[in-house]
Amino acid sequence: MSYTIVESGLIFGPFLESECFPIKNSTLYKNIGNGVKMVEFVLCRPNTLKEPVLWMVEAKHSSPHPGNVQDFSDFIHEIKEKMVNALSLCFAAILKRHPVDKGIVPASIQSIDLSLCKVRCILVLNGHPEAWLPPIQDALRASLSPTNKTWNLDPNSVVVLNENLAARYRLLQAT
pLDDT tens profile 121-165:
999 999 999 999 999 999 999 999 999 999 999 888 999 999 999
pLDDT of residue 42: 95
Say whether pLDDT at 108 is over 90.
no
pLDDT of residue 50: 73
pLDDT of residue 33: 74
Strand 118-125 with 52-60, pairing: parallel
Reference 5, options 36, 42, 30; nearest CA is 42
pLDDT of residue 49: 63
d(CA 17, CA 141): 29
Contact 23, 43 (CB under 8 A): no
- Helix residue ranges per DSSP H, 116-160: 133-150
Contact 144, 84 (CB under 8 A): yes
d(CA 14, CA 122): 17
Say whether pLDDT at 3 is over 90.
no
- Residue 17 DSSP label: T
Say whether pLDDT at 73 is over 70.
yes
pLDDT tens profile 22-66:
999 888 898 887 899 999 999 998 766 677 899 999 999 989 988
d(CA 103, CA 121): 24
Per-residue pLDDT averaged across 96-117, rounded? 80
Per-residue pLDDT averaged across 75-102, rounded? 90
Q: 3-state class of 126 per DSSP? A: coil
pLDDT of residue 46: 74
pLDDT of residue 101: 65
Least confident of 99-103, 107-111, 123-127, 152-156: 99-103
d(CA 89, CA 78): 16
